[in-house]
C-alpha cells in the first residue's frame, strides 16, 4: 500500500461524518456457551447507528471496507456476508483488508481512496474483533505465526511485547530515562480512560501501583502492556460535498502518509531500533500534504501498545524532541491540559486493544475530539489532530491528519 503518487492530489475532498463503537470489553462466547454473541449482529447495530448519525441513507453507501476478522471468527469471507446481512448492494467496493495492527487503519484508508477517486460518495470502514475467550496458547501461536520471521525470530519464541521491552531497555540506556518515566505514561493514560465510556479499564492507578505489577517482559509490567479485548467500530466516510449538504459539523481528512521500511515486523539488519523511521517518514508525508506541522496539532491519538511505544511515537512524529518523550510524559506535557495531549482515549493499554480494529477506535476518538463531543476529556478548541497506526515495531506506519469543520 502507498499513499504516494496520485494519492497526493485528491480528486474529491473527503470527510468523516459518522462514527459508532462498542465499549472495549469481553464479548466473545466460549465454545460451550448456551448463547453466543455473534460478531455480525454486534457490528450491524453500529452500522445503523453510524449511518443515522451521519445523516445519510443506507442506499447512499457505495463501499464496505472491512478490517479482516481474527482467525477465531467462525464466519469467513466476512465482508460479503455483512453486505448480505445488511442488504447493502454496492457499486464501489466490498472487501476485507489485513495488515496486523494496521488493519483498521488500512480499512479507513481504502474507504478514503474510494471516496476521493469518485468510486463512492459514501463508504464504510468497519470491523469487529473477538479474541477474549480464545485460549492463550492458541492466541499466542496465531500472533507468533503472523508477526514472526520463520528464518529469524519465530524459532526463539520472540513475542511482540519482547520487541518493545528491548526498545525500552535501549531507550533508558541511550537517553538516561528510567522505568518510572516510562511507567508514568500508563498512569496518564488510565486517567484519560477514566473519562472515556468506551474504555476497557477505567479505575485510576498510581505510579507505585504500575511499578509494583508483575513483569511481563522486563522492564515492562502488567499495566504497561495491552490487555486482550473485543470490540466493533463503524466509521462513515463521504465526499465533502455530501458532508456540506448535511448542514452539520464534520471532520475533513486533511493529510495522509504511509511508509513501509521493507522489513517484516523487526529486522535482522542493523538499524536505529528506537527511531521509528517509518513513522517519521509517514508523518512528514502527512504534514506536507496537510500543510501543517507538529506544532499545529491539538492532540494525537497514537497506536501505542506499550508505554515505550507511545514515548517513541511522540518523538518520531515531532511532538517532543528526541530523547525527551519519557521526561515530558512524566512532567504531564502529554496529558489532558498539557502542551500536546496524547492518547486522550486512554490508549491501547487502558482504552483497550481489539487488535484488528484498534486504529478505528483511534479514529473514533479523533472524530469525537474534533466534533467537540469528548465530554470531560475534551481538548479545548481542538481543530486539528492526528492518528497513527503501525505494522510491527513501527516497521510500517500510517498517519492521518484530521481537521474540524464546524
- The CA-atom distances, in angstroms, between 264 and each of 63, 247, 391 are 30, 45, 9
Q: What is the pLDDT of residues 265-301, one digit of tens each?
A: 777 778 899 999 999 999 999 999 999 999 999 999 9
User: Is 5-134+229-246 a CATH 3.40.47.10 domain?
Assistant: yes
- Between CA 39 and CA 74 the distance in angstroms is 9
Is the pLDDT score of 156 beyond 50? yes
Closest to 271 (Cα-Cα) out of 167, 173, 178, 175: 167
Q: What is the pLDDT of residue 141?
A: 74
Is the pLDDT score of 193 beyond 60? yes
Is the pLDDT score of 135 beyond 90? no
Q: What would the mean pLDDT of 68-82 be, rounded to a whole number?
A: 92
CA atoms within 13 A of residue 293's CA, in its CB half-sphere: 3
- Between CA 403 and CA 384 the distance in angstroms is 4
Q: What is the pLDDT of residue 1?
A: 39
Is the pLDDT score of 4 beyond 50? no
Taking the alpha carbons at both ends of the chain, their separation in whole angstroms is 32
Buried b (16+ CB within 10 A) or exposed e, 355-372: bbbbbbbbbbbbbbbbbe
Q: Which helix (H) or strand (E) holds 369?
A: helix 358-370
Q: What is the pLDDT of residue 153?
A: 66
At residue 231, the 3 state secondary structure works out as: strand
Amino acid at each position: 500500500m502507498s499513499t504516494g503518487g496520485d494519492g497526493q492530489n485528491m480528486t474529491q475532498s473527503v470527510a468523516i461524518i459518522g462514527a459508532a463503537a462498542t465499549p472495549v470489553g469481553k464479548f466473545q462466547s466460549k465454545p460451550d456457551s448456551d448463547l453466543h454473541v455473534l460478531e455480525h449482529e454486534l457490528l450491524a447495530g453500529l452500522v445503523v447507528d453510524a449511518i443515522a448519525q451521519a445523516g445519510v441513507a443506507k442506499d447512499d453507501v457505495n463501499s464496505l471496507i472491512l478490517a479482516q476478522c481474527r482467525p477465531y471468527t467462525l464466519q469467513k469471507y466476512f465482508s460479503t456476508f455483512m453486505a448480505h446481512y445488511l442488504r447493502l448492494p454496492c457499486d464501489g467496493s466490498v472487501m476485507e483488508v489485513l495488515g496486523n495492527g494496521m488493519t483498521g487503519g488500512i480499512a479507513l484508508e481504502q474507504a478514503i481512496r474510494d471516496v476521493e477517486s469518485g468510486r463512492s460518495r459514501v463508504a464504510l470502514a468497519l470491523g469487529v474483533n473477538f479474541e477474549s475467550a480464545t485460549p492463550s496458547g492458541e492466541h499466542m501461536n496465531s500472533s507468533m505465526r503472523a508477526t514472526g520471521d520463520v528464518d529469524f525470530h519465530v524459532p526463539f519464541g520472540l513475542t511482540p511485547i519482547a520487541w518493545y521491552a528491548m526498545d525500552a531497555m535501549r531507550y533508558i540506556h541511550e537517553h538516561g530515562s528510567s522505568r518510572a518515566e516510562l511507567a508514568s505514561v500508563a498512569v496518564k493514560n488510565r486517567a484519560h480512560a477514566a473519562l472515556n465510556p468506551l474504555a476497557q479499564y477505567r479505575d485510576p492507578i498510581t505510579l507505585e501501583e504500575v511499578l509494583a505489577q508483575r513483569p511481563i517482559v522486563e522492564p515492562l509490567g502488567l499495566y504497561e502492556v495491552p490487555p486482550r479485548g473485543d470490540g466493533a467500530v463503524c466509521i462513515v466516510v463521504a465526499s465533502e460535498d455530501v458532508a456540506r449538504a448535511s448542514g452539520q459539523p464534520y471532520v475533513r481528512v486533511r493529510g495522509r502518509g504511509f511508509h513501509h521500511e521493507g522489513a517484516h515486523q523487526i529486522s535482522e539488519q542493523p538499524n536505529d531500533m528506537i527511531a521509528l523511521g517509518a513513522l517519521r517518514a509517514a508523518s512528514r508525508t502527512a504534514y506536507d500534504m496537510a500543510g501543517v506541522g507538529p506544532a499545529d496539532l491539538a492532540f494525537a491519538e497514537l497506536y501505542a501498545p506499550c508505554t515505550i511505544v507511545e514515548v517513541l511515537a511522540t518523538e518520531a512524529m515531532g511532538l517532543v524532541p528526541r530523547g525527551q518523550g519519557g521526561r515530558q510524559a512524566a512532567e504531564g506535557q502529554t496529558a489532558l491540559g498539557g502542551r500536546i495531549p496524547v492518547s486522550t482515549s486512554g490508549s491501547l493499554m487502558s482504552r483497550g486493544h481489539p487488535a484488528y480494529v484498534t486504529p478505528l477506535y483511534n479514529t473514533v476518538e479523533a472524530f469525537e475530539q474534533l466534533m467537540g463531543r469528548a465530554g470531560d476529556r475534551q481538548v479545548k478548541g481542538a481543530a486539528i489532530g492526528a492518528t497513527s497506526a503501525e505494522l510491527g515495531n513501527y516497521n510500517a506506519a500510517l498517519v492521518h491528519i484530521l481537521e474540524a469543520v464546524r
